[in-house]
Every structure is written in C-alpha cells, then in structure tokens.
Amino acid sequence: METEWPGRWDHIQKILLRTGPFAHPSFEPSPDVLSFLKETCKILVIGAGGLGCELLKDLALMGFRDIHVIDMDTIDVSNLNRQFLFRAKDVGKAKADVAASFINTRSDYNVTLTSQVNFPLCTIAHTPRLPEHCIEFVRILLWPKEEPFGAGIAIDGDDPNHIKWILEKSQERASQYNISGVNYRLTQGVVKRIMPAVASTNAVISVYAIRFSCCLPLNNYMNFNDTKGVYTYTFEAEKSEGCLACSDRPQVLNFTETDKLQDIINHLQENATYQMKSPGVTTSMDGKNKTLYMQTVKSIEEKTRENLKKSLKELGLMDKQELYVADVTTPNTLTFQLQLGTKMENS
C-alpha cells in the first residue's frame, strides 16, 4: 500500500509546526519534530488488549511509523467483542503478531459509521433466529405489556430481579423456537448494551491517554465570575510541606526533659494549629508500641493516667523520638518528633 500521498502530513504539520495555548511548556514547534516522528521515533506498546488495540490504532493514525508491541497472550473468543484488531479466524494466535499484521496491512478506504444495531421488529415478533431476538422480544414487547414490577416501571439493567425476569421469559420464548444460548450474562449484555459500551470506553480512554501526553490538563482549580462580564482564572494549589492531613514530615514538639506528659497534652489541645479534643499518645520503644496516654478508652485511661504526672525523662522519652497522636479532629494518626532542650532554649 502506498504510504505517501499529497497532503498526507497536512494535519500533523498543523500540530507540530506551530504552538498553541494548550501545548506542553517544553514543546518547540519545528520541522525537525516531524522528521523525528517519521524517521527516528520508536514507540513501544505493552499489551495488545482492549486499550492496546485502541492505542496502536491512534498512534498509527497520528503518523508514528516505528511501533513495537509486546503481548504474551493469545486471542480468545471473549476478546472479539472489544479488541477490534482481531477476528474469529485469529482465535488462538498471538495477539502481538495479529495486531502488528492488522496495522501494517490496513486498507485505505472510506469508513461508513453505522448506528447501534437494532433488530427488525417483525423478526423479533414472528421469526426469531438468535438468542438476542428472544431477549429483545421480552424487552421491547413483553415488558411494557405485562408490567411485571408495576405500571410505569422501566427496566433497570442493574437490578438482578429485572434481569432475572427477562431471562426467564426469554428462555421460554427461546424454547418455543428451539433456540439455545440464552443465559444471564447474554441477557444483561443485550439489555445494558454492554458490548458496544466496553469498546467505546476503551476508545475514549486511549484517546485521553494520548491527549494528556501531548498537552497539560487544567491546573487544579478555575475561578469563574460572571457578575460583571466574564472573568476566569486558573491556579495550581500546591501541597503544603507541613500539612497535618497529607504531609509525611513529622511535626516538631519543643519541650524539655523535665516537662510533664500533661504539658504535651495541653499543648495539643490549646495550640491554634492542632486544637485537639482528647489526644491519645503512643510511641515506639525497643521495637514495641507503648501507649503513654489514651483518654477515649476508659480501661486504658485508668492505666495510663499516672503517666500525665511523669516527666518526659521518667517516661524514657529522648530527643528526636517520635510520638504518634490520634484524635477525633483528624482522620489519620499524626506523627510528632520531640525536640528536647533546656528551658532557656525553649523560651
């Protein structure tokens, strides 16, 4: 098949020879980029399944010529409904070989897009030949006639009772015409249009995967104001290194060896940053967890109450030791690091 013709690269040139508002910051438009795509660039696609088939098609249509695909699996009948590079004659063959062959031998012809397949009503009602005909008969004709779950109740493809009723009626219809193959999975697939939905979802996901590799998505947040004209502004919400909710860095607690555990509890409750209500404090000593104080569990509170009067030295706490604090005000346990100094230093 001829691989070059007038205008072959016109659309790609519009992307590669000029920049745009959504282009990646590191992108520099140049004829060299097109030359790299055509002559040098190598693409490796790992997996030729549902998404892999779509990606191979997208990459080939975008102009990439040196595409490699790896897949250790073979083609199964169940793959044919969503992995469009394969046909029934390919069952049992290696996915990678068939996918590569299909892309290399694709025909150059105009494609006609057809709508969702609907069976003729006369076939469904009078001469059913397929299990799908029986299911469609129940879905289209029998359901509105019998209204099995009440007047005006539409079919819910996610309701097992609805699917079960349609299945039973479809099997009765199929037995009248000696048709086999009506089962729960097929019934749900016909009612919910699962097969075309899966293929369409794979196609959309593959396009988005390529899209986000070509340009940056909108940064985090956008403000929109139309009270006086239209005003928009986007900004990136940066992560705070000291965030109590998501930071992995321990918070520092400055105390002395003579300070009591009660002083730490008071600090956690009164400090404007923490504002805890009933903090429970644990630590790790000699590789074992040790509960210093826990107010929320009555039996543990009684056993650890005396620790409140003890100094940090008496409790065996040392400089740089980590304390783990749980409280109702935060969903996660917070990690603190003791920084023990003198009264003069902390003042």
Looking up residue 22, the CATH number of its domain turns out to be: 3.40.50.720
Q: Are residues 255 and 330 in the same domain?
A: yes
116 vs 333, more confident: 333
Check residues 70 and 332 and name the one with the higher pLDDT: 70
- Model pLDDT, residue 202: 83
Residue 234 is assigned to a structural domain of this protein? no
Rounded CA separation 240/246 (Å): 9
Is the pLDDT confidence value at 197 over 80? Answer: no
Looking at the fold, whether 26 and 91 belong to one and the same domain comes out as: yes
Cα dihedral: 75, 76, 78, 84 (round 10): 20
Tell me what percent of the residues of the chain surpass a pLDDT of 70: 90
Query: Are residues 340 and 272 part of one domain?
Result: yes
Which of 76-85, 95-104, 203-212, 230-239 has the highest mean predicted lDDT (pLDDT)?
95-104
Instruction: Give residue 287's pLDDT.
Output: 84
Average pLDDT, rounded, for the chain: 85
Residue bearing the bigger pLDDT, 134 or 239: 134
Res 296: pLDDT: 87
Q: Is the pLDDT of residue 233 over 60?
A: yes
Q: Count CB neighbours of 184 within 10 A.
A: 12
Across 82-87, average pLDDT: 89
Q: Is the pLDDT of residue 346 over 60?
A: no
179 in the Ramachandran plot: left (φ > 0), alpha (ψ -120 to 50) or beta?
Answer: beta
Q: Which pLDDT band, with edges at 50, 70 and 90, does 268 fall under? A: very high
Tokens of 11: 């659309």
Q: Is 333 found in the same domain as 271?
A: yes
For 66, what's the count of Cα atoms within 13 Å in the CB-facing half-sphere?
9
* Tokens 């290399």 sit on residue: 104
For the segment 36-57, what is each residue's pLDDT rounded down to a tens digit? 988 899 999 999 998 899 999 9
| Higher-scoring residue by pLDDT: 244, 300 | 300
- For the chain, the distance separating the N- and C-terminal CA atoms, rounded to the nearest angstrom, is 83
122 carries an active-site annotation: yes
Domain assignment present for 286? yes
- Which has more pLDDT, 308 or 232? 308
Domain count, the chain: 3
- Alpha-helix residue ranges (DSSP H) falling in 215-260: none
pLDDT tier, 120 (very low <50, low <70, confident <90, very high otherwise):
low
Residues 15 and 58 in one domain: yes
Q: Return the CATH number at 288.
A: 3.10.290.20
- Looking at the fold, whether 24 and 99 belong to one and the same domain comes out as yes
Of 104, 134, 161, which residue sits at a domain end? 104
What is the tens place of the pLDDT at every residue in 133-171?
999 899 989 999 999 999 989 999 889 999 999 999 999
Range of the domain at 179: 121-192
Closest by CA position to 16, among listed 39, 40, 34: 34
Q: Is residue 198 part of a domain?
A: no
Res. 89: pLDDT tops 90: yes
Mean pLDDT is lowest, of 2-6, 21-25, 109-113, for: 109-113
- Domain boundary among the residues 61, 77, 104 is at 104
Span 56-82, average pLDDT? 89
Task: Tell me whether residue 310 is exposed, middle or buried, using C-beta atoms within 10 angstroms of its C-beta: 0 to 12, 13 to 18, 19 or more.
Answer: middle
Statement to judge: residues 88 and 137 lie in one domain: no
Residue 278, pLDDT > 60, answer yes
69 inside domain: yes
pLDDT band at 281 (very low <50, low <70, confident <90, very high): very high
Round to whole Å and give the CA distance between 60 and 298: 67
Name the active-site residue from 41, 53, 122, 215.
122
- Are residues 20 and 62 located together in one domain of the fold? yes
Is residue 278 a part of any domain in this protein? yes
For residue 14, is pLDDT > 90?
Answer: no
